Structure 1
Amino acid sequence: MTDVPCSTFIIGKSGQVSSSLLEALRAEDNRVFACGRPEIDLLDPESVRRAILAARPKVVVNAAAYTAVDRAEDEPEIAYAVNAAGAEAAAKAAAEIDAAIIHFSTDYVFDGSKRTPYVETDPVSPIGVYGRSKQEGEVRVAAANPKHIILRTAWIFSPFGGNFAKTMLRLSKERREIKVVDDQCGNPTHALDLAELVRKVLPLASAQSPDPRIFGTFHTVNHGETTWFGFAKAILEGAAQRGGSEVAVLPIGTKDYPTKAERPAYSVLSTDKLRDVTGFQLRPWREALSDCLDRLAGSPHRVAAERSQQIGGKFA
């Protein structure tokens, strides 16, 4: 815990997004502070308030969440406690000290019945406990703090933690063929690109007289869409180019891979609002995946500054 005012207080310190935020933000600001369990626990709202008031940041970034989509069906109370009540506690505490809050949400707030990219004003209709708990979190965060930025994102991958890309790489060492669902469509999103976006948004959110357009809900994903099969194929082809094993990837339907929680068949997000309001836009997901695979293979060839240049914008 810190007793010195910090510029940015990150809730979470070991997940994909929080790890990416720490890498992106601490490179230029040593007043970024991340706090996770046991010091701060979204299941304990008072621990959230206590930590934020002690840190007195200009911006709180809530990068912690309950993300076990299938397990949430059996643990709805925990999912709602973390994703709704815990998020609300963070937003309220930030409001107490006139700090803005950046909160991450998900494409799973939509039911997948649309066949063109979802925009921020489309009606939400989550079809599982996870999506419903995140949608409730959006509502509570917005009500608790007028200085809120809710970033809906999707299909997160990174060099950190557990994710689909790392699972595919692991399976490629264990199997000669991998079957992957080909009838669910979305936007693969690099957590490090998300972090770079947050780095550029922070000065806008913490300004003395911020442009009110910066607050609200924004869709924030890498450019381009694909299916889980298409994503897996790109991952394994990229790995093979870097010396990995060549593995056959076979498309299957959702019905052939039953899960406890239903997933939206189409959850592609439009980022037009983000571009129109801020001028920022994340690069194509295939470019981001190439960087991630370089990191995972131990031979990165692009530096963070190059990645940052690809998220330029009006206010940069």
Structure 2
Amino acid sequence: MDGEKKINMSEGVPLNSTEKPSDLGVHINTTFSIASSKKIKLLFVLNFLLSVICMVISCSIAFYYWNEMISMRRQLDMIKDHFIMQNLNQDRVMQSALVARPRPPGLVETREPRTRSFEDEEVPQKARKFYVEDLGEDMLLVDSKKKNASKDNSPVYDLTVLQRELVVAQFNGAVREFNLGTQSIMGPWVRDEEVSSKNSEDKIELTSNYVTIKEGGLYLVYAQVVYLTQSPNCYFIWARQAGKEPRLLTTCATGDDASKRPLNKSQMSCSVQTVARLYKGDIVNIAQREPNRTVWLRPGYSYFGFVKLSS
């Protein structure tokens, strides 16, 4: 067995062979079957066309149902209008209980309304009064002297009260920007001629920083003040008679400005209104609580006024 050559079965080369092993070449087939580029393009075009067709069909179906919904809505609106018209016709046929029955022809008198306008603000002592006569659907103003108390119990209304003009007096700030310093009374003010009623100075007299009431009554008092500050503010509206304690009509207060805006843009407004009974000779003014406050006393920013509601 010495002369025999041992052979490695896995490699096919004798173990005791002196020959140099030769290199083995390995070839791997990596060729795959791929469709041609023309087929790919054709499939892409077919897919795109199919998508477009589906989109067109979907839009057509949606448009069809949209038109159907619009037509149904129009039909419902027509039905609703029809029911409304029927209800209105039924209401016209039925006579309302609030409308009086027409009077017999023999009792109806031909009367003409008489009205009288007063150019002066004062009402004459013998002012003519009128009452409203019910003539069915028509209403007629008739002189109260012609009213027959035995036949008609209609109430008499004094229409001369409605012809009076309201007394309105409004005052705007007379300066653009003003630092009050240690001064507590706010002002100066100037009368707003466009808003104030005619001859309002005879009823409410202005004296720079305060006003004097010449005609007592129930007044609506309103005011607004614009501050140029970032600190809290408060003002009072006082009314006082000579030799008597002042009366506080109303007050207005603001908080502080916590924003980081510059001082020249830190405007804060404070507005208030109240209804108060003022007497002849009352002196009304606006008093600031905190000192060294800068206010914008200009039209449209700071103002106050009075509207007389009744005597």
Structure number with higher helix proportion: 1
Q: TM above 0.5, one fold?
A: no
Structure number with higher strand proportion: 2
* Higher relative contact order structure (alpha carbons within 8 Å, sequence separation ≥ 6): 1
TM-score tier (shorter): under 0.3
Structure with larger Rg: 2
